[in-house]
Amino acid sequence: MSGKTSCPIFTNAEINSLLGVTNSSNANTAVLFSNGDANATDAHFSSSYQSGTWYAVFDRQVTATHIRANYVIVKFA
C-alpha cells in the first residue's frame, strides 16, 4: 500500500457471509474500524461506505506496507 487514503475492507456479500445473513447494506449495518497496529502506520482510521463496500478511511496518506484494521460489525434487524 503506498499513498492511499482509504482501503476497501468488506463488501456487503462478505458481511453477509460472515454474519450468516442475506441483506446487509449501509441502511441496516454499521462497520467500525480502528488502527490495530500503530507501529505499522500511525494513521487514524474511520469507516465509510460506498457502492456496496465498507472502507477504512485514513486521516493521511498511508505508505506503510501493512495495516491492521480492527473492526466491529453491527447489523440491525
- At 33, which amino acid appears? F
Q: How far apart are CA 20 and CA 58, in angstroms?
A: 29
> What is the band of 2 on the pLDDT scale with cuts at 50, 70, 90?
low
Cα 68 to chain center, whole Å? 10
Going from N- to C-terminal start, the domains of the chain cover 4-75
pLDDT of residue 12: 98
Q: HSE, CB side, 13 Å, CA atoms: give it for residue 32.
A: 3
Q: What is the pTM of this model?
A: 0.88
Query: Which neighbouring-strand residues pair with 55?
Result: 8, 48
pLDDT digits (tens, 9 = 90+) for 29-59: 999 999 999 888 888 999 999 999 999 999 9
